[in-house]
Amino acid sequence: MVKPIVLVIMDGVGKGDGGPGDAVALAKTPTLDRLLETCPHTWLKAHGTAVGLPSDDDMGNSEVGHNALGCGQVYSQGAKLVGESIENGALFNSETWLDLIANAKAGHALHFLGLLSDGNVHSNISHLIALLKKARQEGVQKVCCHILLDGRDVPATSALEYVDQLEGVLASLSGEGYEYLIASGGGRMKITMDRYQANWPMVEAGWRTHVQGQGRQFPSAKEAIETYRAETGCIDQDLPAFVIAKDGQPVGKIENGDSVILYNFRGDRAQEISLAFDRKEFPYFDRGDYTGVKFAGMLQYDGDLNIPEHYLVQPPVISNTLTEVLCAAGIHEYALSETQKYGHVTYFWNGNRSGKVDEKLEVYEEIPSDVIPFEQAPAMKSKEITERLVAQMASKQFQFLRCNYPNGDMVGHTGVLEAVIYAMERVDEGLAAILKAADQYGYTVLITADHGNADQMLETKKGKTSVRTAHSLNPVPFIIYDTDHHWDIQPGKYGLANVAPTVVKMLGLTAPACWEASMV
């Protein structure tokens, strides 16, 4: 008899080395330990080529991870997609690029806004450099860079390396009537890069910095970073905003009529600032005397919501998703998380599609996240997620239920080891309650993750050990809990895209021919 399935995604929980930086191993997780000791399980590749990124040096992330989990296939993603478009020239031949360049050559400045690093999660500095060089080649005279400091997908205090690299490129492109410069910046967790409308004041702070030139002034980005580090002790992602000025005046505010490119390729933290630039009707904060710019994203961050209206690189068209297969079979589905990861179990899971495939068969539920530093409340909404999921299991309305516990990832990014350990213990408590409900109501439970993070909180480079806030390259678990049937996981090397075919087979359905193989 086919049993309904619950899929639990422990966001940011991989297989660490068991050392002093492995918060998953350090936490008291009796439920997860028992599952790994007694249940069929394997370890899935969740980074690099397994999720469509350029190489296995590229860490996975929640977006591409949920794409792969939800579609059973591997698509060119993020950095790889953009890199291919730059290399083959499609980006520079796009109508959007040509329009923005023509506008800049007609007397307006060209602005680049985005995360300055090579983390390959939200952006890559190599893409920015390629765009800068092409703009210079095409005769754009004034170009301003508005840089968001990373320290999250790359080492926590590496910002100056990227600033030095960028300053060198800008200097080489300047002179003889050409002015290429850094105009503003700040830490990615302080300004501009909020997501899921959790903290609009953060986006507003970025707007005041980049567009209105409001904020503490410095003669250079390097001096701003060094000064703030000395004063605050913050890592890069938490450094305050800064404005580069000369003689008391900002050197590169974004003015009405200018051309603006948001060069991030990942969608979640790009949507809100895109709306601020893109929408005539905008209720979230007062934009002052703003009347509009020529704006484009590197990608379209939400196709169904048309965010933004113009973009440089065509996104992958992901079809034959798990949700489409299940809806075609009449399977009722339930998706749940708190705000921080709600988009991942819905939009990204469904192949970058907003809305539902079938309103009659799907129910999505979002628990609002608290607007508070995650290390201060590392339990996040794990208790509420567990309670809602168990209630829906008891209702027996759904044959496939999925949820995401964000704790391992969101708390993991803070770098506070004690908080991450506590977070993992709360997730483990949630697993215990879900397994109890599975026994009571007759469910198979699958436990996995989208990438690693909490499993590697320290890193050693050149003999120096420091806090790691980025995702890890470690594999993630895939565990089958079923008290009525023993499932044999077939020998092989698997990735996240093998989960959907496994779910379909366990539900007695046939997977599309384009999918990866089932693990059972």
The string of pLDDT tens digits covering residues 147-160 is: 999 999 999 999 99
Burial 150-179 (b: 16+ CB within 10 A, else e): bbbbbbbbbbbebbebbbebbeebbeeeee
pLDDT of residue 463: 87
* 433-439 average pLDDT score: 98
Give the confidence band of 304 by pLDDT, cuts at 50, 70, 90: low
Q: Using the predicted structure, report yes or no on whether residue 323 has a pLDDT greater than 70.
A: yes
CA pair distance 60, 50, nearest whole angstrom: 9
| Active site amino acids | 62
CA pair distance 498, 213, nearest whole angstrom: 48
| Main-chain phi, psi angles of 134, to 5 degrees | -70, -40
pLDDT of residue 283: 97
* 239-264 average pLDDT score: 98
Give the tens place of pLDDT for each residue, 194-222: 987 889 999 999 999 999 999 999 999 99
Q: Using the predicted structure, report yes or no on whether residue 328 has a pLDDT greater than 80.
A: yes
pLDDT of residue 301: 84
pLDDT of residue 11: 97
pLDDT of residue 1: 66
Instruction: Tell me the Cα Rg of the chain.
Output: 23
78 CB burial (10 A radius; 0-12, 13-18, 19+): buried
pLDDT of residue 55: 84
* Residue 284 in tokens: 């979230």
Contact 60, 449 (CB under 8 A): no
Q: Using the predicted structure, report yes or no on whether residue 489 has a pLDDT greater than 90.
A: yes
The better pLDDT of the pair 509, 314 is held by: 509
pLDDT of residue 28: 98
* Residue 389 in tokens: 């999921």
Collapsed DSSP state (helix, strand, coil) of residue 424? helix
Domains parsed from the chain with CATH numbers: 5-77+317-506 (3.40.720.10), 79-313 (3.40.1450.10)
Percent of the chain residues past pLDDT 70, beyond the cut: 99
Q: Using the predicted structure, report yes or no on whether residue 315 has a pLDDT greater than 80.
A: no
In the predicted model, what is the mean pLDDT of the chain? 96
Give the confidence band of 505 by pLDDT, cuts at 50, 70, 90: very high
Give the confidence band of 53 by pLDDT, cuts at 50, 70, 90: confident
Percent of the chain residues past pLDDT 90, beyond the cut: 91
Q: Using the predicted structure, report yes or no on whether residue 317 has a pLDDT greater than 80.
A: no
Give the confidence band of 9 by pLDDT, cuts at 50, 70, 90: very high
Burial 64-75 (b: 16+ CB within 10 A, else e): bbbbbbbbbbbb
311-to-127, 297, 303 alpha-carbon distances in Å: 14, 5, 11
Query: Where are the strands (E) in 170-257, listed by range?
Result: 179-187, 217-218, 242-246, 249-250
| Mode of pairing for the β-strands spanning 458-461 and 464-467 | antiparallel
CA pair distance 498, 489, nearest whole angstrom: 11
pLDDT of residue 76: 86
Give the tens place of pLDDT for each residue, 374-407: 999 999 999 999 999 999 999 999 999 999 999 9
DSSP tag of 11: T
442 CB burial (10 A radius; 0-12, 13-18, 19+): middle
* 105-117 average pLDDT score: 98
Contact 415, 156 (CB under 8 A): yes
